[in-house]
Amino acid sequence: MRRNGSERVAANLLALEAVRFAWPGHASPTIVIDELTMVRGEKLFLFGPSGSGKSTLLGLIGGLICPQAGQVSLLGQDFSRWSGARRDRFRAEHFGVIFQQFNLLPWLDVHANVALPCRFSRERARRAGPLEGAVAQLLRAVDLDESLWRVRADQLSVGQQQRVASARALIGQPALILADEPTSALDADRRQTFLDLLFSQVEEAGSGLLFVSHDRELAGRFDRQLNLPDINSVGGRA
């Protein structure tokens, strides 16, 4: 049975429609996507070769850049045409991001780094509840020893920084987690352990997860796999 428009909006977490984007000074577009959707709570694995537009796509989905055509919607709201300040507020409320290099603030301790998104969004802080307890719960969930909670971020190992970055992304139950190659610095055992932790927390928060990686060995654990060149019709590709 086909859904009507309102039912599709209700079911979809993320929707891209007829999106086109070209970087300034480039004659050819980097992204040409007719349709891409995620449903609420879905865990999607996105892969593709270097230069296929993965980072550009994440920038469009996260509202860091705007398409020249089409729309990008989260929770039924097309935020792609909003002002920069309004997109920033929306991103702070509804997105959690795990960067490849983690991007923790090195001069802040672990606790302050995890709490940071709630400093930028009252709505996210409201969803988190009492901040001290929310931070502690997440740090325990990602198995970071309590002795490290007041240690500066630049004193942590790579694996410890990764766990802090994950807790920061998850605090306040964002609708969508964007993870950009977050396991690239880890060995096989640590990658699987990290995914165990990430999946359990994403499911508890009810968040969707868009996980970008070149490591196809991880793909089988996700609800769906997507090869970006299959949907990005740059240069006439189908």
Chain segment 189-216, per-residue pLDDT in tens? 778 888 888 898 899 888 999 999 888 8
Q: What does the alpha-carbon distance between residue 23 and residue 226 come to, in Å, rounded to a whole number? A: 23
Contact 40, 207 (CB under 8 A): no
Residue type, 200: S
pLDDT at position 235, please?
57
Q: What is the pLDDT of residue 188?
A: 78
How many CB atoms are closer than 10 A to CB 63?
20
Vertex 226 angle, CA 26 and 28, to 5°: 10
Please give the single-letter amino acid code of residue 80: S
pLDDT at 181: 86
Rounded to whole angstroms, the Cα distance separating 129 from 140 reads 16
Task: For the chain, give every domain's residue range.
Answer: 5-236
Alpha carbon distance 90, 119 (integer Å): 14
Q: How many CA atoms lie within 13 A of 98 on its CB side?
A: 30
For the stretch 16-68, pLDDT in tens is 999 999 999 888 899 999 999 999 999 999 998 888 899 999 999 999 999 99
Q: How confident is the model at residue 7 (pLDDT cuts 50, 70, 90)?
A: very low
pLDDT exceeds 50 at position 238: no
Alpha carbons within 13 angstroms on the beta-carbon side of residue 40 total: 15
Query: Rounded to whole angstroms, how far apart are CA atoms 115 and 132?
Result: 8
CATH class of 5-236: alpha beta
Is the pTM higher than 0.75? The answer reads yes
